[in-house]
């Protein structure tokens, strides 16, 4: 299979599904299904939107991973962003989804209704342009995402430095994909047989963040595109490896991703950022060396310096996940693949896309939001 266009034909897609079923039937029988984790939230959305999980045989199951940047955004970062937005002569710029993530005392959207200064932007360059146009305003960009969004943020910071801007800063929560995958694989309660890797992260990083998975855990990884047939093809490739007890990285998304990634995209990130000692993840707690921080030459652009008190913990060890605002919220379990969204007692009742209590209900890439949009039938539903 070279190109996705080969499977625009419905008959070819049906043949692909038949191949998946044949491979699944050849796997050794066991009581629990073979579990395949799609790391990326974009993949989760595609799976639910097109009902791909319903095409799988009973012995194959999708597990939803931690690859949605909005979903792993911790409450403490939202609290910091709100504090900055409430400062005089300060404008907090954010992607739209991040505006709705609940912190300990509400979301940025709620803070805006109460008078905080916020603005939805489509890129860090938009925030940089605002800083140029409003020199009397401190413009802060809430930088979130994995390796995919880091290059654009790095380029904006470098452009601000070259222009000598003193009113542009970044509240940084850029994270890396390898540490949470290590944390999940180290969890003895979690059993995953193979991984569908995020194609857009691999576009930048190549295979490097995922090489430890087959090397240390003997589990296969397939880097996948985002079309429905991409994911089905990736499932087939994973099943072929599992059937033959193989574990290696394969790139299904060959029209975009390569094993070596994009050096041109990584260069500005390496110049502006360095790994920090700790980063907090919603649902996973504090993970060492999992986030990016500004290098000393660019620390003047760190918005955290505007805050009265630092919230960065001093410890260098990972801790247990911070509790959700509502103790009944099961985002942590869903995020780590231990529960399905419909098994959360708040799902579809107190927690909906219009009134999200957990981060997984905020973004369209969140497992709960996707499940609600494409599977939920009403508030009386039990576990799905």
Domain segments of the chain as ranges: 4-68+178-251, 75-175+261-306, 331-374
Question: Looking at residues 271-290, what average pLDDT do you find?
Answer: 91
- Supply the pLDDT for residue 380: 39
Q: Which two tokens stand for residue 295?
A: 């290098």
Spell out the residues 6+ positions from residue 313 whose beta carbon is closer than 8 angstroms to its own: 278, 280, 286, 319
More confident residue, 170 or 103: 170
- Supply the pLDDT for residue 317: 38
Same fold? 4-68+178-251, 75-175+261-306: yes
Question: Looking at residues 85-103, what average pLDDT do you find?
Answer: 94
- Supply the pLDDT for residue 338: 82
CA angle 148, 342, 222 (to 5 degrees): 35
Q: Flag whether pLDDT at 245 surpasses 90.
A: yes
Q: Which of 141-145, 184-188, 249-253, 326-330 has the lowest mean pLDDT?
A: 326-330
Q: Flag whether pLDDT at 1 surpasses 80.
A: no
Percentage of the residues of the chain whose pLDDT score is greater than 70: 91
- Supply the pLDDT for residue 6: 54
Candidates 3.40.50.11750, 3.50.50.60, 3.40.50.970, 3.90.1260.10; correct CATH number of 4-68+178-251?
3.40.50.11750
Q: Flag whether pLDDT at 211 surpasses 90.
A: yes
Residues 111-168: pLDDT tens digits? 999 999 999 999 999 999 999 999 999 999 999 999 999 999 999 999 999 999 999 9
pTM over 0.85? The answer is: yes
More confident residue, 361 or 10: 361
The CA–CA distances, whole Å, from 324 to 109, 281, 282 equal: 19, 12, 9
Bridge partners for 140 per DSSP: 92, 169
Question: Looking at residues 11-25, what average pLDDT do you find?
Answer: 93
- Supply the pLDDT for residue 191: 87
Task: State CA 236 to chain mean position distance.
Answer: 24
The domain defined by 75-175+261-306 carries CATH number 3.30.450.40: no
Residues 304-352: pLDDT tens digits? 999 854 444 433 333 444 445 578 888 888 877 788 898 999 999 999 9
CB 95 within 8 Å of CB 119: no
């Amino acid at each position: 299979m070279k190109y996705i266009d080969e499977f625009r034909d419905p008959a070819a897609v049906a043949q692909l599904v038949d191949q998946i079923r044949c491979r699944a039937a050849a796997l050794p029988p066991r009581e629990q299904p073979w579990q395949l984790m799609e790391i990326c939230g974009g993949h989760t959305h595609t799976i639910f939107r097109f009902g791909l999980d319903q095409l799988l045989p009973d012995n194959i199951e999708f597990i939803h991973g931690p690859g949605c940047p909005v979903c792993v955004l911790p409450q403490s970062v939202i609290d910091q962003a709100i504090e900055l937005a409430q400062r005089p002569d300060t404008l907090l710029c954010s992607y739209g989804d991040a505006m709705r993530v609940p912190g300990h005392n509400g979301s940025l959207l709620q803070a805006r209704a109460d008078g905080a200064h916020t603005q939805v932007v489509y890129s860090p360059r938009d925030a940089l342009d605002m800083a140029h146009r409003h020199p009397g305003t401190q413009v802060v960009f809430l930088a979130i995402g994995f390796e995919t969004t880091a290059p654009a943020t790095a380029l904006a910071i470098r452009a601000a430095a070259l222009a000598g801007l003193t009113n542009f800063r970044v509240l940084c929560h850029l994270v890396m994909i390898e540490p949470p995958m290590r944390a999940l694989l180290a969890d003895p309660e979690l059993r995953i047989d193979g991984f569908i890797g995020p194609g857009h992260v691999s576009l930048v990083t190549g295979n490097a963040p995922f090489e430890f998975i087959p090397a240390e855990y003997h589990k296969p990884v397939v880097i996948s595109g985002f079309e429905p047939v991409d994911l089905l093809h990736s499932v087939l490739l994973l099943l072929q490896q599992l059937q033959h007890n193989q574990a290696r990285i394969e790139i299904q998304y060959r029209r975009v991703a390569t094993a070596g990634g994009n050096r041109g995209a990584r260069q500005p990130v390496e110049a502006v950022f360095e790994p920090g000692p700790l980063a907090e993840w919603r649902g996973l707690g504090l993970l060492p060396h999992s986030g990016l921080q500004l290098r000393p030459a660019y620390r003047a652009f760190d918005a955290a310096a505007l805050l009265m008190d630092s919230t960065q913990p001093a410890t260098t060890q990972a801790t247990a996940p911070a509790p959700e605002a509502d103790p009944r919220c099961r985002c942590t379990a869903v995020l780590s693949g231990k529960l399905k969204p419909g098994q959360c007692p708040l799902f579809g009742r107190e927690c909906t896309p219009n009134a999200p209590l957990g981060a997984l209900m905020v973004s369209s890439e969140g497992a709960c939001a996707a499940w609600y949009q494409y599977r939920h039938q009403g508030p009386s539903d039990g576990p799905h």
